[in-house]
Amino acid sequence: MRKRVDENQREIINLFKQIGAGVVVLSDIGNGVTDLLIGYQGKNYLIEIKNPVRKWKYTNKQKIWHEYWPGQKATITTKEEALKILGII
């Protein structure tokens, strides 16, 4: 079953690729797992993308996943936030 994808996901993925990051789309896994796995300069980043235009919230499964995942994870809405997560700006 295809998951709903926020409109800004494609442009953020393209940005990551333009700066040389590795990108794996995880959103089809479901169960609250973040949208993307990003590899950049020897580090991995788990990133949830939300639409900046409308008021967003986590699904119940996302809430649980984010609460219990012991490692790094981030939620972003813009390309600027994407660059900040990677320490570029």
User: Can you list the pairs that 5-9 forms with residues at least 24 positions away whose Cβ atoms lie under 8 Å?
Assistant: 5/35, 6/35, 6/49, 6/50, 6/51, 7/51, 7/53, 8/49, 8/51, 8/52, 8/77, 8/78, 9/35, 9/36, 9/49
Q: Which fold has domain 9-85?
A: Trna Endonuclease; Chain: A, domain 1 (3.40.1350)
Segment 32-55 mean pLDDT: 94
pLDDT at 52 over 90: no
pLDDT digit string (tens) for 14-40? Answer: 999 999 999 999 988 999 999 999 999
Please state the pTM of the whole predicted model: 0.90
